[in-house]
Amino acid sequence: MATGTSNPFDLAPKLVTSFIDGQWVGDQGGHRIPTFYPGNGQIISELQEADANEVDRAVRSARRAFNDPKWSGMAIEERQSILCRIADAIDANAYELATLETLNAGIVRRDVLGRQVVRAAYNFRFFAEVISQQPGQVWQQNKDYLTFVTRHPVGVAALIAPWNSPLALASMKVAAAIAYGNTCILKPSEQTPLSLARMVEIINEITPVGVVNLVNGRGQTTGSALVDHSDVDLIAFTGGTETGRTIMQAAGRRLKPAAVELGGKSANIIFADADQERALDGALVSIFSNNGQQCLAGSRILVEDSIFDDFVGRFVERARKIKVGDPLSDETEIGPIASARHREHILSYVDIAQSQGATLLTGGKALDRDGYYIEPTAVLAPSNGDRVCQEEIFGPFAAFVKFSDAEDAIRMANESQFGLVGYLWTQNVDKALRVSQAIRTGLMWVNTPMVRELRAPFGGVKDSGLGRDGATSSMAFFTEEKTTTIPIADVPLRKFGA
């Protein structure tokens, strides 16, 4: 295991290829893509793109592994043991995995060690437990027939992950897929292959050959070859809404199930009767965690008019004190944006907001240093209909809007193409219940930011996606139900031609 004293950059391989059928694919030439350390903008590694032939090899490997009854028909105890051993191996390699995640995604390493890697290991332990509690369904028709439902793995799963939190998001998909006896091919974002390459290698020390494969490359090439492959049985995708539509079209053409977890522009509603200090902490956490690059971000902060100026003033004061810097440093609170292009995308919203009459409250500039850093940013938007309140910026960028009462807050929260999560802060129980149920999202957090209960469904409505993760929801997606009916009495049959 690598330790805290080694040079973090030594952990990044010079070339990342694909991992197919239990081994790294050799240097095949082909298209190469540089990967950068967002902390200084330097190239740290190169990725060799998997072409359609390599994707096909990966799918065939996964199919062979799936067809082996030793895997798909494995006893639950044995599968649980595999999942728990993977979790232990992730824990044992936590420092290396966290460093690789930081080197590619720019998330502060201290946070990755404390959250994402812990969550990655927990995802495997979670499904180890969940598969032992699979509920059954049995019906008895009169005294004559018994009908029961069994669940079976679906087959070969294509798993597609985004760049903003590769370990936590991809591990959830891999864990759920293999827990139910499927095999899979994981495609990380071309921007962030490093941590997932190591995770797949670690998993393959424990799983049979071909159960977990990895293909690296761009979405338009490797990704689309994977989702369009005729022998892929299901697709689980996390990423942007437009890509989600493309994935659903491919799934529709081939009639295969797809779950798409997409973007968000979540409302964070602060009522005047909230615990103000807690709401302030929560608002900062929900927009600035993970360098602001998270689907769950509370990026539209709706504040009741009687406390608006005071709340916004205190938010800005705290935002100005946030330590932005090297994500490998333990002092840093917000690291760099994941890529130069994405940094420009975020900063373009300063002009967009101002052109629609918004006031820049704080931030709005790149830091004058190497790497893709920006100041934590907040704007005061004249209206919830403005672009800065309607479009996913996906960075440390908060938009404040004022509301007058609960009905106004509900209206604004729902005035969005997205519906992933929502936050609300009030000490009035009736209001908390009423408002939380009236907002159209897949999930609401009341007086707390971002607590994930993995057994509960997670996923969005509207343009935030289709499908859910969670104990029951993941089982429903990664298994197929089969109904069997059998007579349990001597039931006479019609006798055609007798």
Which residues contribute to the site for ligand NDP (CB under 6 A)?
160-164, 169, 187-191, 218-220, 223-224, 227, 238-240, 243, 246-247, 261-264, 295, 392, 394, 420, 460, 465
Cα–Cα nearest to 243, from 470, 463, 467, 461 = 463
- Of 54, 101, 261, 304, the active-site residue reads 261
Say whether 261 is catalytic.
Answer: yes
Beta strand ranges found along 97-255 (DSSP E): 137-141, 145-153, 156-160, 183-187, 212-214, 234-238
- Measured distance CA(90)–CA(326) in Å, rounded: 24
Say whether 201 is catalytic.
Answer: no
Nearest CB to ligand NDP, comparing residues 221 and 383: 221
Coil, strand or helix at 358 = coil
- Measured distance CA(172)–CA(458) in Å, rounded: 12
Beta bridge partners, 400, equal: 301, 380
| Cα-trace Rg, the chain | 24
Contact 327, 109 (CB under 8 A): yes
Q: How far is the CB of 365 from ligand NDP (least distance, A)?
A: 23
Nearest CB to ligand NDP, comparing residues 210 and 240: 240
Return the residue nearest ligand NDP (CB atom).
219
The residue count for the chain: 498
Nearest CB to ligand NDP, comparing residues 12 and 159: 159
Nearest CB to ligand NDP, comparing residues 87 and 248: 248
Q: How far is the CB of 329 from ligand NDP (least distance, A)?
A: 25
Contacts of residue 73, Cβ cutoff 8 Å, sequence gap at least 6: 181
Nearest CB to ligand NDP, comparing residues 295 and 381: 295
- Measured distance CA(390)–CA(348) in Å, rounded: 15
Nearest CB to ligand NDP, comparing residues 342 and 402: 342
Q: Is the dihedral of CA 446, 448, 450, 453 positive or negative?
A: negative
Q: How far is the CB of 262 from ligand NDP (least distance, A)?
A: 5
- Measured distance CA(320)–CA(29) in Å, rounded: 47
Q: How far is the CB of 293 from ligand NDP (least distance, A)?
A: 8
Q: Largest Cα–Cα distance in the chain?
A: 92
Q: How far is the CB of 158 from ligand NDP (least distance, A)?
A: 8
Q: How far is the CB of 189 from ligand NDP (least distance, A)?
A: 3
- Of 295, 304, 375, 389, the active-site residue reads 295
Q: Which residues are catalytic?
A: 261, 295
